[in-house]
Structure formats: C-alpha cells, structure tokens
Amino acid sequence: MAFKRKKYDTLYLVNSSSLWGNKRDMFFLIMMGKRLRQNTVLHRHGATFANIINTASLPARWLNKKLLGEVRNVIVLGDTLKNIFNGYVRNENVRIVKNFFSPDLLIPEERFAAKYNSGGTVKILFLGNLIQEKGYEILLDAFLSLPEEVSRRAELHFAGECYSPEERDAFLNKVRTRENIYFHGPVAGAKKKELFWNAHVFCLPTHNMFEGQPISILEAYASGCIVLTTENGG
C-alpha cells in the first residue's frame, strides 16, 4: 500500500454506515498516508454517520476526528445532511451533490392536469424495496383499516423487490382478496414511469436507519405526485 499510494493524486471513497465498516475506513485512511488523505474525497450516501460514530469508543472518535479532519472534501446528498459530520469535518469541506431523477420522468403539463381533473379513483403508490423498515406494512395496514366507503374510492399500488419469501407470502395473502390493491413486483423503464404518472399520491413511510435521500421521492415530485413521507434521513 505504501508503495502503490505514490501512484495516485486523488482518491474517492464511499465511507461506511456501520461501526465495523468505519474501522475499515480508518484502516484505509491510515494506510493512505497524510498526503493522499489530504487529496481524498469521501461520499456519504446515507444519514447515519453521526449516530453510528457517536456510539463508538473515545479512541475511535478521536481517530475519526483526526483522520477525517485531513480529507479534502466530503460529499453529502442535501442540506439536511450537512451536519452529520459536525465535529469531524470542517463545515467548508462538506459539499452537496444532490440526488437526481431521469429527465424522462418529468410529466408533461397536459398529462399532469389530466390526472388531477379526471375525478374518480385516487391512486396511491409505494415504490421501493419491500422491507419492513421502508414502511410498506404500515401503509398496507393503514389502508386496510379504512372504512369501506373510503377505501373503495382509492387504489393502492406496490412496486419493488421483496427479498424474503416469508414476507412476500404474508403480504400476498393480505392483499389477495382485495380488488383495489396491486403488487407489480420490481419495475423499471416505461412501467415505472407509467406507475408514477398515474399516481396521485406517493407514500413512503420509511423508518430505515440507513435512509439517505430516496431518489423515489424526487421521481415522485417530477411525476407530479403528492408526497407523503417521514422526516427520516435526508
């Protein structure tokens, strides 16, 4: 490592969201040497660095403060995430590179006006991995608890990957007999755009501790959806 580091002028590192991962990051930063550390750019995708590192031992926090204080810049996804490095990285070294959406998701004005002027059924969309921390079960249970005269005026659409066969079976058993609840599985491209463009409300009740700034929220805004989400992450 000491030999190879002489070959590089700048280094880019996505730093970890766990204590064990942080130990790895510290090892990398030590092995880089001061010259390369001062030319390193860290990229934080999530919002948990402060919560994770503040539970570490005093020596670990001291080491983070010393090594992170020497990096050139740290990239975060938005203004609300700038303070996660307070006490470790100088504020002027924290830079914002915002998440973005594909331009083809921008809904045309006439399509936007049409979906809100058509009357009738309100379409609610959850799009993301179907894991408990993303809140899909919270949304489903809330919808199922609605009085029938209310729920029959709406459709609930779920799109995303469900990695647990047990959770997938439980989910499908809950919705199997409901004509106004749909599960589309993983979606991309034209199918994804059509779901966003048809939806009136995008709902992501996430309580995921590793949440950063979900691109799906930005995609929902671009598609002209009302967004309901939690104040979690970015």
Q: What is the pLDDT of residues 21-68, one digit of tens each?
A: 889 999 999 988 899 999 999 998 777 777 778 888 899 889 999 999
Compute CA distances 4 → 7, 8, 27, 36, whole Å: 6, 8, 15, 11
Q: Which amino acid is at 119?
A: G
* H helix and E strand count, the chain: 10, 9
Using DSSP, state whether 182 is helix, strand or coil: strand
As to burial, measured by CB atoms within 10 angstroms (0-12 exposed, 13-18 middle, 19+ buried), residue 98 is exposed
Task: Say what the pTM is.
Answer: 0.77
Nearest Cα to Cα of residue 48 among 85, 91, 87, 97: 85
Place of tokens 């031992």: 57
In this structure, which CATH number among 3.40.50.620, 3.40.50.2000, 1.10.357.10, 3.60.10.10 belongs to the domain 103-229?
A: 3.40.50.2000
Which H or E run includes 195?
helix 189-198
DSSP 8-state code for residue 9: S
Q: What is the pLDDT of residues 169-215, one digit of tens each?
A: 999 998 888 899 999 999 999 999 999 999 999 999 998 777 777 88
pLDDT bin (cut points 50, 70, 90) of residue 3 is very low
Starting from the edge strand earliest in sequence, which strands make up the sheet with 154-159, in order?
181-183, 154-159, 122-127, 201-204, 226-229
Average per-residue pLDDT in the chain? 89
Domain ranges within the chain, ordered by starting residue: 4-96, 103-229
Read off the pLDDT of each residue in 94-120 and give the average, rounded to a whole number: 89
